[in-house]
Amino acid sequence: MAWARKLLRVDLTKGTCTSEPLNMDWAQRYLGQRGLATKYLTEEIDPKVDPLSPDNKLIMTTGPLTGTCASTAGRYSVVTKGALTGAIACSNSGGFFGNEMKNAGWDMIIFEGKSAKPVYLFVQDDKAELLDAGEHWGTSVWDTEENIKKKHQDPMIRVASIGVSGEKGVKFACVVNDMHRAAGRSGVGTVMGSKNLKAVAIRGTLGVKVKDIGAFMTATANGKAILAENAVTGQGLPTYGTQVLMNVINEVGALPTRNHRDVQFEGAGDISAEKMHEKRASDGKSNLITNGACFGCTIACGRISQIERTHYTVVDRPQYQKASGGLEYEAAWALGAATGVDDIDALTFANFICNEQGYDPITFGATVGAAMELFETGAITTKETGGIELKFGNTKALTELAEQTGRGEGFGAEIGLGSKRLCEKYGHPEMSMSVKGQEFPAYDSRGIQGMGLAYATSNRGACHLRGYTVASEILGIPEKTDPLATEGKAGLVKAFQDATAAFDSAGLCIFTSFAWTLEDVAPQLDSACEGEWSVEKLLEVGERIWNLERQFNLAAGFTGKDDNLPARLLKDAAKSGPAEGKVNGLGEMLPEYYQLRGWTTEGVPSNQTVERLGL
């Protein structure tokens, strides 16, 4: 029950689509989505494989609650070896695609090999076939989705596709579904493009069954009531979206600015949620049109925005004069504070391009910020940039590079390498603000100490969604901890990481964890799924998943030395705000973290830990 109990295996080399039963023993141990797909990936590929080799595999996967009436149960993930990092990659997305896949009767789709020509997968319930995508190759995500729906004459088809950036090998290309929802980080779209797979289009009408419908309806109703009554999930996120954090994080002195040279941005207010609501003098309209929700979501944190029509970025560009997915906090930070740009319409324009051409705005903005520092220090010049004055705060430089990167052209092709490769190429690897090759999100760990440990130990490279200690250190959820203290943060990070793995694997949005604990999730899973699902079991599942991901990375060639932060965060003190004079205390937290994890001093899971978790 809850699981569809089958997967679709697509051999792109042979052009075949085959149904297989889901391994239910693994499902009991890894639950679904992130956990279960990682188990399949680790069993089926060599961790040392080149991410862009046909021998790498790409898995689209749902959780057991995906497609049910549980709040936010529309999630799916894309799991592979990441093109940006070479580490385990699991990128989570909302929208409606995950629900459609589950309602078509599939827990996951495993893509292997490489097609000789561009193709897309079309699934209609239990029927699946590979179709020619030649007419779609070279087109944007927006055009691809619209054209596939027109071709099949069904507006209810849900599409996940790559843009030109994924075709051109931009290292941080995404898989975008429903026009502006994305499996967004680590280069999962790059892997998809390397396989000549343009899109997956699904129509599902079969429904999802649960074990005990009465108990399930009670459990989900209780969960929705908790979300509605919570200040974050019932008020803050619906009203302001994730952008509610912009001014908050700036005030606490943890907003990375100009490639982490500063921790506060003087233009934060001009790119904030409040600014998105503000009516413009020019036309009496605001950047924000309305909020939006993914399938089954009662939070509705999504943003739908528009750009002021006379702004230089949209003049003579009708496709960007339409309303589309608006700025989220991470994108607004990366495109704004990280580059010193405070023009909200320019940020919205760049974000639209990220959506249309399918690439990660976090890595893009952070890489542009690194390039700006390289430019200002003389490591690169207008000769390399094609005449672009790549200075901090240069709005037109940002938007020009957004267009170039989406097409994989000009200096945009260099930005498409990501900051690690870019900075190494120009002789300054220390200017890449990344871990394991993936750029930091929007929190400076000198001002939020726990996030430094979370970034350093994240299995997918720097990531806020693998252990969001900001909830505790800034928002006081589930309890308030001092953001400037290192004491107790090892345990806090481990707890957040294990719980997050369980939330992800269930098929739920991690934003529910602002209001829910695993005590709220367990009854929903227990009434939906066969077997017994307690809080204790979910914590063990989360820990097992975390250690399995760790084992993959170790086998891929990563070591404990990669659990580190750039020297800037460890040696250069914050210049302003509450954290003024502080650096991140990773060296104080990491040994305790290893000990709590049951790992050796080199960061390797001990034999006892491996045996205890059945790895």
* Residues 478-496: tens digit of each pLDDT: 999 999 999 999 999 999 9
Integer Cα distance of 234 and 532 in angstroms: 30
What does the pLDDT read at residue 319? 87
The band of 545, judged by pLDDT with boundaries at 50, 70 and 90, is very high
Percent share of the chain, pLDDT over 90: 98
**Band of the pLDDT at 561, cuts 50, 70, 90?**
very high
CA distances from 249 to 145, 398, 506 (A): 36, 23, 30
For residue 279, report the phi and psi dihedrals to the nearest 5 degrees.
-80, 135
What mean pLDDT is predicted for residues 416-424?
A: 98
Residue 568 has pLDDT above 90, yes or no: yes
Average pLDDT value for residue range 93-119? 98
Q: What is the mean pLDDT of residues 261-278?
A: 97
Report the DSSP beta bridge partners of residue 599: 605
200 - beta bridge partners?
121, 160
CATH number among 3.40.1380.20, 3.40.1110.10, 3.60.9.10, 3.40.50.300, domain 6-203: 3.60.9.10
Two structure tokens written together for 89: 């990659």
> Of residues 518 and 1, which shows the higher confidence score?
518
**Confidence (pLDDT) at 57:** 98
Contacts of 162 (CB under 8 A, 6+ apart): 141, 173, 174, 175, 176, 189, 192, 193, 197, 198, 199, 358
In CATH terms, 443-613 corresponds, of 1.10.150.20, 1.10.599.10, 3.30.470.30, 2.130.10.10, to 1.10.599.10
Please tell me the total number of residues recorded for the chain in this structure.
615
H helices present in 458-573, as ranges: 470-473, 489-506, 518-528, 535-556, 567-571
Q: Where are the alpha helices (DSSP H) in 126-204?
A: 141-152, 164-168, 188-194
Residues of the chain with CATH 3.60.9.10: 6-203
Instruction: Return residue ranges of the chain for CATH 1.10.599.10.
Output: 443-613
pLDDT at 376: 96
Q: Checking phi first, is residue 358 left (phi over 0); if not, alpha (psi -120 to 50) or beta?
A: left
In tens, the pLDDT along 172-191 reads: 999 999 999 999 999 999 99
pLDDT band at 505 (very low <50, low <70, confident <90, very high): very high
**Res. 322: pLDDT tops 90:** no
Nearest to 164 by CA among 142, 186, 132: 142
Residue intervals in the chain for CATH 1.10.569.10: 241-251+257-432
**2-6, 76-80, 186-190, 322-326: least confident range:** 322-326
SS3 325: strand
Q: Find the helix or strand (DSSP H, E) in which 333 lies.
A: helix 329-335
**Cα angle 223, 177, 198; round to 5:** 150
The string of pLDDT tens digits covering residues 128-172 is 999 999 999 999 999 999 999 999 999 999 999 999 999 999 999
The stretch 322-334 carries a mean pLDDT of 94
How does the average pLDDT of the chain come out, rounded?
A: 97
Single pTM value for the model = 0.97
User: pLDDT grade, residue 323 (50/70/90)?
Assistant: confident
Three-class secondary structure of residue 598 per DSSP: coil
C-beta neighbour count of 532 within 10 angstroms: 10
Correct CATH for 241-251+257-432 of 2.30.130.10, 1.10.569.10, 3.40.50.980, 3.50.50.60 = 1.10.569.10
Q: Is the pLDDT of residue 123 over 90?
A: yes
Q: Name the amino acid, one letter, at 264.
A: Q
pLDDT-derived band at 1 (thresholds 50, 70, 90) equals: confident
Average pLDDT over residues 329-352: 97
Pull the structure tokens for residue 243.
């952008």
